[in-house]
Amino acid sequence: MSSLPPVSARRLRTDRVMRGLLGAGTVAALIPLVLVIYYVLLKGLGALSWSFFSTDPTGNFLGDPGGIKSAILGTIEIVVLASVIAIPIGIGVALYLVEYGKQGRLAYVIRYFVDVMTGVPSIVFGLFVYVTLVVGTGYAAWKGSVALALLMLPIVARSSEVVLLLVPDSLREAALALGTPRWRVVLRIVLPTAASGLVTGALLSVARAAGETAPLLFTASLVNGTNFALGKPTNSLPLQIFSDVQQAQDRLQQRAWGAALTLVALILLLTLFARLLASRRTV
């Protein structure tokens, strides 16, 4: 039996160095995550209290800056409305692409434009909504929702398309062979089969939208008080953070950290929930 020639020392050294570098790169990627989470917890936990969640920002430069109640409620209000707009439309577009458009030319064009929409910087959507809806009539929560919906729509459409493509054709064919009309096949067979995947994609888009600041700057604006009127300017967590961090005042920056912790916790919960659903996916 002949033995293999030994691997040269130089090659072994290169191997070890490169493996070390790849490992070091992975550690380097995790450092910012650890630092961000650590600092948000460190500074944010100190800001949390019952009154932090139960009072509105006062807007006073001196004295008590108040809490973030209006920002939390505003974010929820704006994001829920944005989801109501974007998720059905996004899934509808995906259904058209998968069930009717398939590989046709129109479907290709729609797919392309959805991709273009994915790449539009969020601040530019803010500008667009400003000129089409805000000019002359003023800021309002629902206009912020429209801006966020524009951002969510392509995410929902593309993720839904991927999931709908996974539904086996045999299911559709079986239903059609039994005489079921096409629309019932889609609504009663395809959608329920793909449901968990659709929910995952939708939740991830909601998580993405909840953290967006730029589209809300000139649409929903920044106010102090809580209100549930969709037609009025409404506060939101990202804008509150953005505004507080630029004030050179410890108390306001402290509130920014607390608000950041709240926002990160909300988004992480949504994301983890979405991933949990995704990992239990049956399709």
Partner 1 sequence: MEAGSLTPRGDRSVLERSPRERAADPIFRAVLLGLGLGVLAIILYFFIKLASESSDAFSKFGVLGFTFGADWDVSRLQFGAWPLLFGTIVSSAIALIVGVPIAVATALFVTELCPRRLRAPLSILVDLLAAVPSVVYGLWGFLFLVPHLRGFQQFLADTFSFLPFVGGTVAGPSYFIAGLILAIMILPIVSAITREVVSRVPVEHKEAALALGATRWEMIRMAVLPYSRAGITGASMLGLGRALGETIAVTLVIGNSPSIGKQVFDQGYTLAAVIANEFGEAANQPLHKSALFAAGLVLFLLTLAVNAAARAIVQRSERGQRAAPAEAAGAAPAAAVGA
| Residue among 67, 79, 97, 62 nearest 151 (CA) | 79
Burial 127-158 (b: 16+ CB within 10 A, else e): bbbbeebbeeeebbbbbbbbbbbbbbbbbbbb
SS3 state at 236: coil
Handedness of CA 222, 225, 228, 232 (dihedral sign): negative
Minimum distance of partner 1 from residue 189's CB (angstroms):
14
| Region of 12-20, 48-56, 64-72, 194-202 interacting with partner 1 (CB under 8 A) | 12-20
Rounded-to-integer distance, Cα 42 and Cα 261, Å: 10
Minimum distance of partner 1 from residue 210's CB (angstroms):
7
Using CB under 8 A, which of 140, 157, 194, 206 touches partner 1? 157
Using CB under 8 A, which of 54, 60, 118, 249 touches partner 1? 118
Q: Interface with partner 1 includes 119 (CB under 8 A)?
A: yes
Q: Interface with partner 1 includes 213 (CB under 8 A)?
A: yes
SS3 state at 220: coil
Beta bridge partner(s), residue 57: 66
Q: Interface with partner 1 includes 178 (CB under 8 A)?
A: no
Q: Interface with partner 1 includes 238 (CB under 8 A)?
A: yes
Minimum distance of partner 1 from residue 54's CB (angstroms):
23
Q: Interface with partner 1 includes 2 (CB under 8 A)?
A: no
Q: Interface with partner 1 includes 278 (CB under 8 A)?
A: no
Rounded-to-integer distance, Cα 258 and Cα 67, Å: 9
Residues 77-116 that bind partner 1 (CB under 8 A): 89, 92-93, 95-97, 99-101, 106-107, 109-110, 113-116
Q: Interface with partner 1 includes 52 (CB under 8 A)?
A: no
